[in-house]
A and B are shown apart, each in its own frame.
Chain A
Amino acid sequence: MTEIRNYTMNFGPQHPAAHGVLRLVLEMDGEVVQRVDPHIGLLHRATEKLAETKPYNHSIGYMDRLDYLSMMCNEHGYVRAIEKLLGVEPPIRAQYIRVLFDEITRILNHLVFLGTHGLDIGAMTVFLYTFREREDLLDCYEAVSGARMHANYYRPGGVYRDLPDRMPLNEPSKWHGEKATAKRNANRLGSLLDFIEDFAERFPGCVDDYETLLTDNRIWKQRTVGIGVVSPERALQLGFTGPMLRGSGVEWDLRKKQPYEVYDRMNFDIPVGANGDSYDRYLVRVEEMRQSARIIKQCIRWLRDNPGTVMLGDHKITPPSREEMKEDMESLIHHFKLFSEGYSVPEGEVYAAIEAPKGEFGVYMISDGANKPYRVKIRPPAFVHLSSMDEMCRGHMLADVVAVIGTLDIVFGEVDR
């Protein structure tokens, strides 16, 4: 009889299904996984240390680059920590805009999750559909901040500027003639809010399309049902948050339980799973997209009726307008001080958490009273989720490892920081 030994296999770091630079050392018994040892840190940039050597406002851009699929939610967590330390609250309109863009970001993130998760386990088409809708949302990012991904839009004390009155239009090109361009521009003729509203109206129909492709698909179910099952008790032990926790049947959502900004005025439901497998987590995320569209509509209704300021008038922490600077010496001084030295934050420590699309994104910040944070600790949800990889994969086949990576919804920008 031949002796059968466990086989050690290397997976990644350059593997299309590894969602970035993840290296897994797999111990296999035939095709069954015995042990998984994820090696991370290949994208480590010391974001926290960089943030500790720069004035507060300089690091907002780094936050975009953490979880680069849910950019504004990361900014939100960081900005909220500063605001809590300063003891300021942004104007109500800015809070609505933040909620609006948090939900847009949630849809953005879940669309990539859905597309790549499908792609990983063999469903090619859904990827093309989700990226079509994602394009519209990235246009919203662009219209409001000028950047399609790394927006740098949230600032301590509000948001950088108010929503624009018009959308940028597509221009005719070699590939799209006059007529086709006019058709593409049909929903861009109004303001940004009109465009988002049009999106929120048709988006639930798009989600229906994705669901016809996947939810009752036999192959999809074979690949996800019963894969990576996590019981509610284990999910709590492993520190799961967000859709990973809700997929295991624990009803916990910071937007409802510890509401921040204006989430307490929003009407939405929290979907939970029953079995805690990959399929349930998929269903939870799909339902979350529908709920996000609901929240977006409520925000739009309010934002239309209530114009107002979107940034605090305290020029110790927010820049004065260009116009004021031309007239007023003090504004000029404020501007100079703010962009050279920054502002000092009272001594203390704070932990601020928000419900990012992937789970609880927290920022723990210690200030010693200087213009730079003394210590910034980022609590990324995907880092914690990835640490459960070993437990979730044990006893599954090699092909299921890919399904588990997909369902974890990890992004290496925030795992490695």
Chain B
Amino acid sequence: MLTNQSILHWVQDNLPEALVRHSEHCGQLTLEVNRDKLLDLCYQLRDNASTSFEQLIAVCGVDYSQYGYSEGGLPIQTFSGQQELSEYVPEAAQETAHQWEGPRFAVVYHLLSLIHNARLQLRAYPDEDSLIVSSVVEVWDSANWFEREAFDLYGIIFEGHPDLRRILTDYGFIGHPFRKDFPLVGHVEMRYDPEKGRVVYQPVTTQPRTLVPKVIRKEGYYDRNS
């Protein structure tokens, strides 16, 4: 039986330099990996009989730039379209919220071992300036499209990927839409121009609006007696 503890011990014994930090949440072990050792660790996790993570379930990018910030007190676009200051200022908004201290972008890998019936999460931070992290396509083929997706949506570059192209967005799309500073309505919209007789792009005409502001409540807010 491969428990979270035994995975952790195994990594600490075999490749201690790869491990930066570890955490456990909801019974799920996450290893924070040194990006230079990511490939080594992945190969070992896959090939070593005591771990044998033969499947890569998913890869995803994360943008932490607004982690722990609430939107309380920001101007809110209402249904009628006018700007008004929200009276909805949550008292516990900022003081208890845990602010993110790590790098802005992260890549999270979800592994599955069928033999041991175990799951593991790896987390690596791409280089902060160039956003480069090594690709794991050579270890697991299933990483191919997931890494293309993370490149498309977050602009993270996977070094060694055989075919790093955009995958989900339009041909000729500009920007990385899942970054937190990319507006939900986007920058351009498309319409048919009857004079030119073709489809044209133009700046968006809709306003971004927040119907429900993001609010962070401190721990124990819901307890009846607090």
Q: Which of A48-56, A104-112, A177-185 contacts B (4 or more CB under 8 A)?
A: A48-56
Residue B164 at the A interface, CB < 8 A? no
Q: Which of A263-271, A272-280, A345-353 contacts B (4 or more CB under 8 A)?
A: A345-353
Are A239 and B140 in contact (CB-based, < 8 A)? yes
B1-37 interface code vs A (CB 8 A; 1 in, 0 out) = 0000000000000000000000001101010000000
Q: Specify the main secondary structure of chain B where it touches its partner.
A: loop
Which residues from A are CB-within-8-Å of B57?
239, 241, 353, 360, 362, 379
Instruction: Write the chain A residue with the least CB distance to B169.
Output: A41
Instruction: Write the chain A residue with the least CB distance to B25.
Output: A348
B65-100 interface code vs A (CB 8 A; 1 in, 0 out) = 011101000000000000000000000000011101
| Closest chain A CB from B26 CB (angstroms) | 5
Are A257 and B117 in contact (CB-based, < 8 A)? yes
Residue B47 at the A interface, CB < 8 A? no
Pull 22 A–B residue pairs with CB atoms less than 8 Å apart, ordered by A. Answer: A41-B166, A44-B169, A46-B177, A53-B184, A238-B141, A239-B142, A344-B215, A344-B216, A344-B221, A346-B219, A348-B26, A349-B30, A350-B25, A350-B26, A351-B110, A360-B57, A368-B97, A369-B98, A369-B217, A371-B217, A375-B60, A377-B108
Which residues from B are CB-within-8-Å of A238?
141-142
CA distance A105 to B215 in the complex (A): 35
Instruction: Write the chain B residue with the least CB distance to A55.
Output: B212
| Closest chain A CB from B165 CB (angstroms) | 10
Are B216 and A370 in contact (CB-based, < 8 A)? yes
A 360-399 contacts with B by CB, 8 A: 360, 362, 364, 366, 368-372, 374-375, 377, 379, 383-384, 386-388
Most buried by A among B114, B141, B169: B141
Given known A-B contacts A236-B55, A238-B142, A349-B25, A369 and B216 have beta carbons under 8 A apart = yes
Instruction: Write the chain B residue with the least CB distance to A417.
Output: B168
Instruction: Write the chain B residue with the least CB distance to A50.
Output: B184
Are A368 and B216 in contact (CB-based, < 8 A)? yes
Are B110 and A384 in contact (CB-based, < 8 A)? no
CA distance A364 to B26 in the complex (A): 12
Which residues from A are CB-within-8-Å of B144?
387
- State the A residues within 8 Å of B (CB): 40-41, 44, 46, 48-50, 53-55, 58, 84-85, 87, 236-239, 241, 250, 252, 257-258, 316, 340-344, 346-351, 353, 360, 362, 364, 366, 368-372, 374-375, 377, 379, 383-384, 386-388, 416-417
Which residues from B are CB-within-8-Å of A257?
117
Are B222 and A316 in contact (CB-based, < 8 A)? yes
CA distance A239 to B26 in the complex (A): 24
Which residues from B are CB-within-8-Å of A384?
142, 145-146
Residue B170 at the A interface, CB < 8 A? yes
Which residues from A are CB-within-8-Å of B167?
40-41
B191-215 interface code vs A (CB 8 A; 1 in, 0 out) = 0000000000000000000111011
CA distance A85 to B27 in the complex (A): 11
CA distance A325 to B63 in the complex (A): 41
Instruction: Write the chain A residue with the least CB distance to B66.
Output: A374
CA distance A53 to B208 in the complex (A): 11
Which residues from B are CB-within-8-Å of A239?
55-57, 140-142
Are A375 and B62 in contact (CB-based, < 8 A)? yes
| Closest chain B CB from A131 CB (angstroms) | 31
Further pairs besides A372-B214, A379-B57: 6, Cβ < 8 Å = A54-B212, A239-B142, A344-B216, A344-B221, A371-B214, A384-B146
Are B214 and A370 in contact (CB-based, < 8 A)? yes
Are B58 and A362 in contact (CB-based, < 8 A)? yes
Are A49 and B110 in contact (CB-based, < 8 A)? no
CA distance A398 to B219 in the complex (A): 59
Which residues from B are CB-within-8-Å of A46?
177-178, 184
Most buried by B among A241, A341, A342: A341
Given known A-B contacts A239-B140, A364-B108, A368-B216, A351 and B68 have beta carbons under 8 A apart = no
Which residues from B are CB-within-8-Å of A350?
25-26, 28
Which residues from A are CB-within-8-Å of B96?
369
Instruction: Write the chain B residue with the least CB distance to A386.
Output: B145
CA distance A388 to B30 in the complex (A): 28
B97-138 interface code vs A (CB 8 A; 1 in, 0 out) = 110100000001010001001010100000000000000000
Residue of A41, A250, A344 touching B170 (CB-CB under 8 A): A41
Most buried by B among A87, A252, A383: A383
| Closest chain B CB from A178 CB (angstroms) | 49
Are B26 and A368 in contact (CB-based, < 8 A)? no
Are A368 and B68 in contact (CB-based, < 8 A)? yes
Are A371 and B212 in contact (CB-based, < 8 A)? yes
